[in-house]
Structures are given as C-alpha cells and as structure tokens.
C-alpha cells in the first residue's frame, strides 16, 4: 500500500475542521471521522475475513452504555469506561460469535442481526440502565477527564481523530501480518484454508473480538459528544447499516474504502437531515440505497474499484496512442 495518498487523506481529515470554523461543518467532519473508524473496524471481520456482520451496532451500544453508566452512577471517567466498554464488547463478541461461526454465508449475517436485536431489547427492558427512557449524561465543566467540551467541537474532533488513527493502525497491522493473510485465505475459501492447516475458528474469533473492541471505543466518544443515549439510538439497525453501506460503497477489504465511503455518505446524511428537517426523514437512506445499487451493478468493489478501472483504461489508452 502506498503511504503518500494515505498521509494526504489523514492530513486533510485533520486540518479541514481546524481551518473551517463553521460549527455545522465541524459536526459533519466529526461524524465522518467516527464512522470512518467504525468502517475500518467492521472491515476487519467482513472485508478481511469475509464474515458479514449486520450487528455491529451491538458493540457500539455496549461501549456507549458502559462508559455512560459508570459516569452517570459512579462518576468514573469515560476514559476508563471506554477501556472497560471495549473489554465487555470483546467478551460479548467471543460468547456470541463462537456458536454463530458454525453458520456460514447469509445465515451468519442473519444471526448477527438477530443477536444485535436481542441485546437492544435487553437494554430496553433493563431498569438499571433506565430502560427505553435512556440516560442523560450529567453535564460538568469542560474537562478532558470527563471528555466534555461545551465551547468547541475541536477537542472531540481531535479525540475522534486519535481513535481513528488507532483503528487504522490496527487494521494495517493485521492486513500486513500473518493474521491478515490467514483471514484473506478464509475469505477466499474456508475449506481450502483449513486444508492448509489454518485454525479458521481461532482467527475468525480474533478478528471479531478486535473489530468489536474498536467499535466499542467509538460508542463511548459518541455518547460523550451527544450527552444522551437510549437503546434505539445506539443499538439501532440504522447504525449497523451505515457502517456496512459506507464500507461497501467505498471498497470492501481495502483500507481506503471506509474513509472514501464515510466521506460520501456521512455528509450526505447529515446535510439532508439539516436542510430537509423532518420532511426529509429517510431521504438519506433512499439515496444510500440508490448509490449501493449503482455500485453493486457496475462495480462490486466500490468507488475504489471504479477508480482502478478508470486508471487502467487510461494506461491502456496511453499505450494504444503511443
């Protein structure tokens, strides 16, 4: 993987919200960075290992609820809550995925969707975490310890950027390590990978655990940014679908894919909601659907696949002219 384009993209992501002082634009950039990170985390289990998960909102919600409940009830810093949330998400991922990995293809995908819905309903009925009412996080003075900044979105953006870099680093490390090669072998052919002596169950579990833990840390940041959570908000199917769609749109199995997809879909979602308000409910999802259909029909490898085709055609055209 060439480093220069990635460094340019990372620099743009960092500098744009610092240069453009518009609050709404900064909010859109923050959400773009968060969902780019979520896409990178999801890409580990689906893009690398080929195990399609439609239930990653469960881990996002576990991260959000763990840090929120610890801060709301015991005054424990969200930073510690973020770590514990990631650990809990990893444990849940292990317990849930071990039996689910016995299923293959679309059966596994449906199972992850069902598990996420079950977890959501558990939180809806759980009085200790305020059930369906949700939790309003206590507002405290600006503090890095409490991860609350009321005068500016820049601190949230910097934290999101740091978490995104962490997720990106882990993804790149896995992709170019033995684990990444094993996961790609499993994606190509589960049976062939086992015939080569790869412990497929072990590496799929590892991929799901890492993916879930990285997803959970963004749940904590989101909760502290919004200062309110409920089960429908953080465990909702829409969150899982956004993660899936932006990664598929950008390019599944590619480090750049979630970044490109988030840069297209998240601004689209946020700006349609801003300009259309209540009258435009669902418009962004309809546009998502159209974009995905176009990509799947013309180039299943996403926007990056389209760009590669154009580049190849230019090279071929150049050779023909020469």
**pLDDT for 78:** 96
Closest to 243 (Cα-Cα) out of 46, 9, 16: 46
Exposure b/e, 27-66, CB count within 10 A at least 16 = b: bbbbbbbbbbbbbbbbbbbbbbbbbbbbbbbbbbbbbbbb
Whole-number Å distance between alpha carbons of 105 and 244: 16
**pLDDT for 151:** 87
Low-confidence ranges of the chain (pLDDT < 70): 1-3, 105, 276-285, 288, 292, 295-296, 298-322
Domains and CATH numbers, the chain: 3-264 (1.10.3470)
Runs of H (alpha helix) within the chain: 3-19, 23-43, 57-74, 78-100, 106-125, 154-175, 178-188, 190-195, 200-226, 231-234, 237-250, 256-276, 283-298, 302-321
Cβ-contact 71, 81 below 8 angstroms = yes
Residue 295, Cα to own-chain centre: how many angstroms?
20
Instruction: Name the CA dihedral angle for 110, 288, 120, 36, rounded to a multiple of 10 degrees.
Output: 100
Length of the chain: 322
Enumerate residues 6+ apart whose C-beta is below 8 A from 226: 233
Enumerate residues 6+ apart whose C-beta is below 8 A from 135: 65, 68, 69, 72, 129, 228, 229, 230
**pLDDT for 181:** 93
Whole-number Å distance between alpha carbons of 38 and 132: 25
Tokens of 145: 């310890």
**pLDDT for 93:** 94
Tokens of 313: 């055609």
**pLDDT for 5:** 78
**pLDDT for 307:** 62
**pLDDT for 320:** 60
Give me the phi and psi of 52, to 5 degrees please.
Answer: -75, 120
């Amino acid at each position: 993987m060439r480093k220069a384009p990635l460094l340019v993209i990372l620099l743009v992501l960092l500098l744009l919200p610092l240069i453009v002082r518009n609050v709404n634009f900064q909010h859109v950039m923050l959400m773009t960075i968060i969902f780019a990170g979520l896409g990178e985390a999801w890409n580990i289990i689906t893009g690398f290992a080929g195990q399609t998960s439609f239930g990653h909102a469960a881990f996002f919600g576990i991260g959000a609820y763990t840090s929120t409940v610890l801060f709301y009830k015991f005054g424990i810093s969200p930073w510690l809550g973020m770590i514990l949330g990631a650990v809990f998400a990893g444990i849940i991922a292990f317990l849930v995925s071990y039996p689910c990995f016995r299923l293959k293809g679309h059966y596994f995908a449906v199972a992850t969707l069902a598990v996420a819905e079950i977890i959501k309903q558990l939180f809806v009925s759980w009085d200790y975490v305020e059930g369906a009412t949700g939790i309003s996080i206590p507002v405290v003075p600006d503090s890095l310890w409490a991860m609350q900044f009321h005068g500016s979105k820049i601190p949230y953006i910097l934290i999101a950027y740091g978490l995104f870099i962490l997720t990106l680093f882990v993804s790149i490390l896995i992709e170019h390590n033995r684990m990444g090669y094993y996961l790609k072998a499993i994606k190509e052919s589960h049976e062939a990978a086992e015939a080569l002596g790869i412990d497929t169950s072990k590496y799929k579990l590892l991929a799901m655990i890492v993916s879930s833990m990285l997803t959970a840390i963004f749940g904590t940041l989101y909760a502290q940014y919004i200062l309110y959570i409920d089960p429908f908000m953080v465990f909702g199917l829409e969150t899982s679908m956004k993660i899936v769609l932006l990664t598929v749109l950008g390019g599944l199995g590619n480090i750049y894919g979630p970044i490109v997809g988030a840069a297209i879909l998240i601004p689209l979602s946020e700006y349609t909601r801003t300009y259309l308000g209540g009258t435009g409910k669902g418009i962004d999802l309809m546009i998502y659907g159209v974009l995905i259909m176009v990509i799947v029909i013309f180039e299943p490898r996403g926007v990056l696949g389209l760009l590669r085709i154009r580049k190849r055609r230019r090279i071929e055209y150049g050779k023909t002219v020469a």
